[in-house]
Structure 1
Amino acid sequence: MKGTALITGATSGLGYEFVNMFAQDGFDLVVVARNQAKLEDIRSQYPHLNVTVITKDLSKPNAAKEVYEEVKAAGITINTLVNNAGFGLMGNFDDLDLHKQSEMIQLNITALTELTHYFLPDMKGNTTDSRILNVASTAAFQPGPMMAVYYATKAYVLSFSEALAEELAGTNVTVTTLCPGATKTNFASVAKVEKSKMFSGAMSSHEVAKQGYQAAMAGKRVVITGSGNKAGAYAAKFLPRSLAAKIAKYVAKEA
């Protein structure tokens, strides 16, 4: 066995693809999500592995600490932490429900930060290489009108992860940030952006997860999936922020 990978948002989309990739590579699993039945289904698919199920809504305060405490109580050593859980919302900031936007911040930023903080000291104490894989987005590279809070959360994930990667340089822990563009998951339906221009050429969740998995295994710091997304992220570094915001607003409109 190659150790144990903890994956949040494990029951669908990128999270489910990560589950399959780590399992196929011989990792034991700790799978975290809200849907107990789907988590149990994952466990039944891999009877030859130790699969620990933790039913938890990470958009709620203290949930990350509860996950860590359950893992510690079970005597499980985490070698790879995949902070994948997250969601977005489309609409004008003042029209969107404030409670849902606060839950987005809690999930996309706070839970990711807390899980990293809780597990990192233990991972640094591992005798083998350990990895953190944080899922951001190409949204991290520019402001995002109509998805203002979501874009801001992903900018945080990228900045935090790149800083942490440098802090950990020379240790046994690497930090990889996955920055996908539009991806075929249930994210689009939750965010209500299925008809927007940004999702007209969405990549498959399998391909995005594969690139993220390979980058994490190689210890790369940042991976942007898709040549078009790479070009867009590169261009965003040189465009005036006001122009980048206008472009993001345009692609958020319905196709």
Structure 2
Amino acid sequence: MFTRQIRIVFIGSTALLGLALSACAPEAETVVEQSVVATDPLMAKALNDPLMVDPDLAYRNEANAVLTLRSDHALPPLVATDELANRARDAARVELLAEGQIPALPFPSSDAGPADLSALTKADAMLVAVGGPQECVSSLSEGLNWSVDMPGPSAVMPHGMVQQAAGSSNADCNVRIVRYVTPVDIEDAMGYHFTRADRARLRPVTYEQPEHSIVGDGRTEHFVAHFREGPGGMTAVDLVYWAK
């Protein structure tokens, strides 16, 4: 009899404890998540690293498929929403403010900027179009992994979705070329990359023609960023960086 009573009390206490934990679980998880992200730079970096989008591999995720049926393997279109834009904008501000005040985006130059990149699809053509070192064209290799190995001035904006990347890293050629989309508007994207270039002392200049762009030229580095309206309300960004 004594053993049975103890068992009943134990089960009851466990149930009450489970109910109490489940009631406060969302709040507790939120507090723990915010605490970890705020104190662990590696966790924060992992959450804000660029997302890599590869339509050619999308169809391979068939873990829960009953039947395997390949058609066009198309990804659903990327669509900007207020929630996605606010999340990316806030993450970018937190990242930049950790290193100091964010400078205001200056008025664009009245001169024409670098060539329009919107019609170009190849990384080597983009590099040549913005005046990059032609001797590095032959050493370029394509791969989305280049987008997570970007020098500071050319870092992809938090929550940016990378669509194309190429690069070279050797004694003679240190080059990065990345095309990505972001849900924030053109001005916000330009503000992020202008700040990065300014802090790297690249003396960035903004342009409106032939398309929105930023050019930064330093003693040992050169950086070019182009911005245009993308599909689904997204902003398309092209980044070209090379070390001199």
TM norm. shorter chain > 0.5: no
TM-score normalised by structure 1 residue count: 0.24
Higher strand share: 2
Higher helix share: 1
